[in-house]
Amino acid sequence: MKRIWLLFAQAVTVLLAAYFVVATLKPQWLQHGSTRSLGGVVSIIEAPTAGPGSALPAPGSLSAAAKKAAPAVVSINTSKAASRHPRSDDPWFRFFFGDQGDSQPQVGLGSGVIVSADGYILTNNHVVEGADEIEVTLNDGRHAPGKLIGTDPDTDLAVIRITLDKLPVIVLGNSDVLQVGDQVLAIGNPFGVGQTVTSGIVSALGRNQLGINTFENFIQTDAAINPGNSGGALIDVNGNLEGINTAIYSRSGGSMGIGFAIPVSTAKQVLEGIVKDGQVTRGWIGVEPNDLSPELAETFGVKATEGVIITGVLQNGPAARAGLRPGDVITAVGDKDIGNVQELLTAVAGLKPGSSALFKLQRGADRMELDVTAGTRPRTPIRRLPN
C-alpha cells in the first residue's frame, strides 16, 4: 500500500512539473479555442455560442428597433437643371462673359420615411424644394422615381410618392408622450455614405423661436444628425417613428450633439392635409404679434404682465374686422392660454378657416373678449436650412 502511494505521489509530481514547464514556455498550447494551421498554432479566444435560433441581442442593444424601422427609411437624390442667364444667347454677352451654357445641374441628397403601403414618403421640404427630378433608393437596393405630392414650407415638410410593390412601412409612434431622457435612434443617409443608425436621448422638447420654421415645436436630440439625414427618421426604442430629422446646430457643418426633429404628431397632420387637399390649410387672423416686454407694455400703455402683444393689425383682415387693435395683449384663444408668439401662432393655425373663436385680451387696464372669425393662412416660402 505504501509503495502504491509513493508511485502515485511521484506521478503527480512529474505531471505538475510538466504542466509548469509548458505553461511557462508554451502557454498557447493550454488555451481553449486554438486553431492549428500549417504554420503552427493560432491563438484565438471564442465567445460561447447559443444553439440554433436561440441567439439573443446583447443586453441594452437597440438592434431590434433599428431592424424594425430601417427598411422604411429611404435615400432621396434630387437634381435641378442648371439655370441659364437670360442673356446667354446674346452674342455681345457671350463675347464679354463667355458661354454660360455649360453650368452643371444642381444635385441634392436627403432621406425620407415610407409611411404608407401606398408609397407615400415623408421628408423635408428643403430636400425636394425646386427639384426637377427625384430618385428614391430603398434600403433593399430598389430604385424608383419620386413624385412630389405637396409641400408645407411652414413646417418644412413634404410628401412624395413612389410606385413599388411590397413596400416596408414604418409604425407611427406618439410623440406627445416622449420625455426628456428617452432613448432614440436617428436613421438616415449622412453625406451619402449609406444608411446609418446613431443613438442618443431626447435632450429637450418643444424647442421653438429658433428661426428655422414658421411653426416650431422641435424634439431636440444628441443622436448624431449630419447633412443627408434631413427627412430621415427619429425612432424610439420600439422602432416607432417619433419625428422627422430636419436640422442641426453646428459651427462646423457636422454634428455637434444638437439636432432637431419635427414631432410625428405634426407630421401626421401635414401628411393628411397634403394627401387629402394637396396642401395644409391653417387658420389666420392677420396680426403682427410680439412677445410682451416691459418696453412694449410701456410704449402701448398696457398693464398686462403676460400674453402676446399685437403691434400691427392688417387692414380689413380677420382681426381688424373683429375689433383687435395694436396694443392689445392676447392672453388666451379658446381654452388655450397664450404665453408667447409661438403658442399664439399654433393656436391660430389650428382654427378652421371660417370658424370663430373667443379671444381673451387686455386693452390698457381693461380685460375684454372678442369673437374672431379665422381666415386662411397664406402660404409662405421657407429659408434654406443648414442640414
Can you tell me the mean pLDDT for 291-315?
A: 86
In this predicted model, which residue has the larger pLDDT, 358 or 55?
358
Residues 6+ apart with CB under 8 A from 356: 371, 372, 373, 374
Q: Look at residue 91 in the predicted model and tell me its pLDDT.
A: 63
Q: Which pLDDT belongs to residue 76?
A: 93
Work out whether strand 241-248 and strand 287-291 pair parallel, antiparallel, or are unpaired.
unpaired
- C-alpha distance across the termini of the chain, in Å: 87
Q: pLDDT, tens digit, for every residue of 269-291?
A: 899 889 988 888 888 899 999 88
pLDDT digits (tens, 9 = 90+) for 207-264: 877 777 777 888 999 898 888 888 999 999 999 999 999 887 766 666 677 889 999 9
- Which CATH number goes with the domain that contains 184? 2.40.10.10
233 and 202 in a common domain: yes
Domain count along the chain? 3
pLDDT at 34: 46
CA nearest neighbour of 218 among 210, 207, 234, 203: 207
For the stretch 55-81, pLDDT in tens is: 667 777 888 999 999 999 999 999 887
Q: Give the whole-angstrom CA distance, residue 370 versus residue 328.
A: 11
- Predicted confidence band at 119 (pLDDT cuts at 50, 70, 90)? very high
Residues 181 and 258 in one domain: yes
**4 within domain boundaries:** no
pLDDT for residue 120: 95
Q: Is the distance from CB of 200 to CB of 184 less than 8 angstroms?
A: yes
Residues of the chain with pLDDT > 70, as a percent, come to 79
Domain C-terminal end among 115, 130, 161? 161
Q: Are residues 261 and 230 in the same domain?
A: yes
pLDDT at 154 over 70: yes
Q: Which residue has the higher pLDDT, 165 or 47?
A: 165
Which residue type is seen at 241?
L
Lowest mean pLDDT among 22-26, 136-140, 299-303, 372-376: 22-26
Least Cα distance to 67 among 156, 170, 146 occurs for 170
pLDDT tens for 13-70 read 777 777 766 666 666 555 554 444 445 555 555 556 554 555 667 777 888 999 999 9
50 inside domain: no
**What is the reported pLDDT for 38?**
47
Domain boundary among 237, 260, 277: 277
Stretch 177-196: mean pLDDT, rounded? 91
SS (H, E, C) 206-275: EECCCCCCCCCCEEEECCCCCCCCCCCEEECCCCCEEEEEEEECCCCCCCCCCEEEEEHHHHHHHHHHHH
Cβ(376)–Cβ(353) below 8 Å: yes
Cα angle 318-372-351, degrees, rounded to a multiple of 5: 90
Residue where a domain stops, chosen among 257, 277, 297? 277
Say whether pLDDT at 310 is over 70. yes
Kindly report, residue by residue over 321-353, the tens digit of the pLDDT.
999 999 999 999 988 888 888 888 888 888 888
Q: Of 290, 277, 285, nearest to 350 (Cα)?
A: 285
The span from the CA of 43 to the CA of 35, in Å, is: 7
Cell 409604425 belongs to which residue? 171
* Domain of residue 352, residue span: 283-375
More confident residue, 160 or 10: 160
Instruction: Return the active site residues.
Output: 126, 156, 230
Q: What is the pLDDT of residue 383?
A: 44
The answer to the question of residue 26 being in a domain is no
Same domain, 227 and 190: yes
